[in-house]
A = this chain, B = another copy of it.
Amino acid sequence: MKKTFITLSLLACAAAGFAQTPGGTPPAVSPMPMKPEMTEIWEPEVGVVTPGKNAGDPPSDAIVLFNGKDLSQWVSAKDGGPAPWKIVNNDYLEVVPKSGDIKTKMKFGDCQLHLEFSAPDVVEGASQGRGNSGVFFQDRYELQILDSYQNRSYRNGQAGSIYKDHAPLVNPMRGPLEWNVYDVVYTAPRFKADGRIDAPARITVFLNGVLVQNNTTINGLTLYIGLHHYPEAHGDDVIHLQDHNNKTQFRNIWVRKL
């Protein structure tokens, strides 16, 4: 709280000088001073959420998508059958190459997502061939996963990028024997009643606690070839994780609806 009272009469002085400067910022000074209480808003009370005990732990309003125990929140993206990836040591999830993508049973729009991933323990391949996977929001918009630790690829295709749309601000990747952490705020695109895009999707991403996307505009459906755009309206949809033929590992995945 601002303890020093900045009174309107003082501001009015500044304003008086200001009015002599054409084009200056209009000071929002009214002819009748307010009282402090007039800019207090009390209702409704802000809802309480119990945060996780340690950093990365899910808060009380999170939906836990994977905590090492089971894949009950996931199905095969191909056929809707059981998710075909492997749980290792009751601890983490590993992609089974060529088994196909997996997707959540639940659908999401605006959300906060926490997800940890690690590149395969054995380093193989280069550029896009190394530790490649991805998180697709609403089944369409990809936050790239790649082993971008000492592995050059195109800047708009490395870890922290919105694939073929926006490069990350920096590259804060850890090595393949360590876990990386994504903390994401995703805002879904809005569409008009006739199907046209009204407001594109937006995304803020921290990778290992370092900002890599700051309310970035997502320019459309992730495409491997061609210009990104929004071909059709859609509502909430699944989050899916990609099998790109690399044994990428995942753990501690949770999401909060916003």
> Taking beta carbons and an 8 Å cutoff, which residues of A are in contact with B?
1-8, 11, 14-16, 18-19, 21-52, 54-57, 59, 61, 112, 114, 128, 132, 134, 142, 144, 146, 152, 154-158, 163-164, 167-174, 181, 183, 185, 187, 190-191, 194-199, 202, 204, 206-211, 214-215, 220, 222-233, 242, 244-245, 256, 258
Report the bound CA distance from A88 to B37 in whole Å.
36
A40, B157: Cβ atoms closer than 8 Å: yes
Q: Known interface pairs A2-B222, A28-B229, A225-B36. Does A211 touch B258 (Cβ–Cβ under 8 Å)?
A: yes
Question: Which label, helix, strand, loop or mixed, suits the secondary structure of the A interface?
Answer: loop
Closest Cβ–Cβ distance, residue A192 to chain B (whole Å): 8
Closest Cβ–Cβ distance, residue A15 to chain B (whole Å): 5
Copies per assembly: 4
Name the residue of chain B whose CB is nearest to the CB of A18.
B44
Closest Cβ–Cβ distance, residue A53 to chain B (whole Å): 9
B47, A208: Cβ atoms closer than 8 Å: no
A155, B30: Cβ atoms closer than 8 Å: no
Picked from B22, B28, B55, the residue with its CB within 8 Å of the CB of A228 is B28
A18: chain B residues within 8 A (beta carbon): 43-44, 231-232
A258: chain B residues within 8 A (beta carbon): 169, 211, 214
B41, A154: Cβ atoms closer than 8 Å: yes
Report the bound CA distance from A55 to B208 in whole Å.
8
Name the residue of chain B whose CB is nearest to the CB of A50.
B172
B46, A171: Cβ atoms closer than 8 Å: yes
A170, B49: Cβ atoms closer than 8 Å: yes
Closest Cβ–Cβ distance, residue A258 to chain B (whole Å): 7
B185, A49: Cβ atoms closer than 8 Å: no
Closest Cβ–Cβ distance, residue A179 to chain B (whole Å): 11
Picked from B43, B155, B181, the residue with its CB within 8 Å of the CB of A41 is B155
Picked from B21, B190, B210, B226, the residue with its CB within 8 Å of the CB of A51 is B210
A49, B226: Cβ atoms closer than 8 Å: no
Picked from B33, B43, B158, B202, the residue with its CB within 8 Å of the CB of A225 is B33
